[in-house]
Chains A and B, each alone.
Chain A
């Protein structure tokens, strides 16, 4: 962790081609993410943004046809999902899963200790752990009663997203991939979530935000904005691109790509 410096490559995706149920969803996708950067990925519904996120996190039901993803110098696609997590890759789900009967706070503790073991750090005892969690919950403006409940069990849409970011702030990942964490959030919650993400903006980490809305990017100002369409990153730019997409939609990006 500490030996990652601003500008080091954290993730390098090259020519990634992925099929789902025989259909090609990603088609030669390239993307490089460096320490200290925040990337926003935008794109039409069904373009494959969640597919990319899930493939990076290690979901098995996708067929990787070609390409590679190198994470901190390792072949990411060869690692089991839990190994990716322990190496500091975090996926914030577009649709966080409800797991009744599995306690929210115990999951978080197990997750953090799995990460710490990987880093060669001592596991935290319940007391030390709670101190950290309570601190982060204050940041996320979450009531402590959420700790006692089942994972996402009966949480509202917005509460689930907040819980994802809470997990992220506790786990302090090297690479956070947040799949539409802003969807379904009210304006105040959006700020809280943005605060959580910004608290992780350091020179030795990176964040990939999947979003449909430029609004989020007012609060988390990205270094790079990409358009994912036709299975690839069709266009990249700075913040200005997000503003332009908001005005003009995606068709022109596709037309431009076809013309090229």
Chain B
């Protein structure tokens, strides 16, 4: 495959699409200038340290312009677990009222990112949160819609809120923002679902703000299509004694990267991050986390498991920063990875930067193959090799999957994860 030497860079091809986007003149100006800068800077490459393990060259030939609206079959959401609560559906980044169930609980207020497009671009969108802002800015340039949700202080809706991002091909730029008022709590389940097998590119941004004492359990279930390149950039700011829990199940996509930045911003803030990635076939699944302990008494816990088979590739690139003054920080970071074939690979880079005294930090990352002693033991009990391997593979990720709530979603996801393993049918009864 030789790229056309005269090919227009993919970002430059986006320029005509800007004029089709809704928004004020101020927005259009900002978008044009920002995109021009992005065209100059280009997409991230593995030469950029933060992108060491993720190569976006697939995008050279991909259509990045937002997909035109298309009619959807009534059963478009069939691939999802049963809804556990109100569900907001976005198709290629745009709200789809007919598929959505907007009976939001008391205390949860939904506005739209669209509302922001009438004024000038707000600081929340334009001001940098990281040294390398390119994907965020790309999203900000192209996003035309997105859920903006605010939960009032003290509210504790019983049911989870679900946001479904459905991708049918072409570019999509979903933008989600969720603010939890003091001492409120919520479970948010986000699905990234691919429909059909068209080439897709998704650059998603999710911003979360937790006020003092707020608690959010944020689950991302990534079921993107086999020809989807997706970068999911999430940022959580966690206030005093607030708790942010994130669960990632990365099953789909062609090349998917989940970037999660968590700022522990108030004393006693907590982050509890767990995730599983499955890079089977030729899939690439990448996780990058940045945990910023800014003040004292923060707790962070990361537990990631990766499985790569076939020619699958994956990575865990996780950094914990403990700032000066963030005394009494407690931080744990664990990434364990399993390779099921010789051609599969998973890179890991756990990093720890400590600038404070009196902190407890533990980190580690391993990549290995199935344990031969365990395998032999199962064989001597009469299990065939394929079942034994699948069982051990499943057991490897089982403890992380167990942390998914509610139970109905967990079971549905366990079934899907199982479906990815050889001999799924025979091992199903083991987790009954």
Contact = CB atoms under 8 A, between A and B. Distances in A.
B399 A99 contact: no
A42 interface: no
A31 interface: no
A80 interface: yes
Given A96-B377, A101-B399, A106 B430 contact: yes
Nearest to A115: B382
A81 B429 contact: no
Contact of B395 (A93, A102, A109, A111): A102
A58 B380 contact: yes
B325 to A, nearest CB: 39
B342 interface: no
A93 B382 contact: no
Given A81-B376, A102-B392, A102-B430, A107 B381 contact: yes
B391 interface: yes
B377 A114 contact: no
A97 B373 contact: yes
Contacts of A57: 376, 380
Interface in B336-395: 371-374, 376-385, 387-388, 391-392, 394-395
B310 interface: no
Counting chain B residues whose Cβ lies within 8 A of the other chain, the interface size class is 20 to 34
Contacts of A167: 381
Contacts of A107: 378, 381, 383, 430
B334 to A, nearest CB: 14
A88 B164 CA distance: 52
B157 interface: no
B381 A85 contact: yes
B374 A103 contact: no
Nearest to B385: A82
A81 B380 contact: yes
Contacts of A97: 371, 373-374, 376-377
B430 A82 contact: no
A103 B428 CA distance: 12
A58 B379 contact: yes
B396 A101 contact: yes
A91 B394 contact: no
B395 A101 contact: yes
Contacts of A91: 380
Nearest to B377: A97
B382 A110 contact: yes
A51 to B, nearest CB: 14
B399 A114 contact: no
B377 A103 contact: no
A66 B381 CA distance: 27
A109 B387 CA distance: 14
B398 interface: yes
B377 A85 contact: no
B398 to A, nearest CB: 4
Contacts of A60: 376
A101 B426 CA distance: 16
A101 B394 contact: yes
A238 to B, nearest CB: 30
Contacts of B431: 103
Contact of B430 (A84, A96, A103): A103
Q: Which of A81, A85, A114, A171 has the most CB of B within 10 A?
A: A81
A82 B391 contact: no
Given A106-B430, A110-B430, A99 B395 contact: yes
13 contacts: A57-B376, A57-B380, A82-B380, A85-B379, A90-B380, A97-B373, A99-B392, A101-B399, A107-B381, A110-B381, A110-B429, A111-B382, A150-B395
Interface of A: 57-61, 80-82, 84-86, 90-91, 93, 96-97, 99-103, 106-111, 114-115, 118, 150-151, 167, 171
Given A85-B381, A114-B381, A114-B383, 11 more contacts: A60-B376, A85-B382, A91-B380, A97-B373, A97-B376, A100-B399, A101-B396, A102-B378, A102-B391, A111-B382, A171-B381
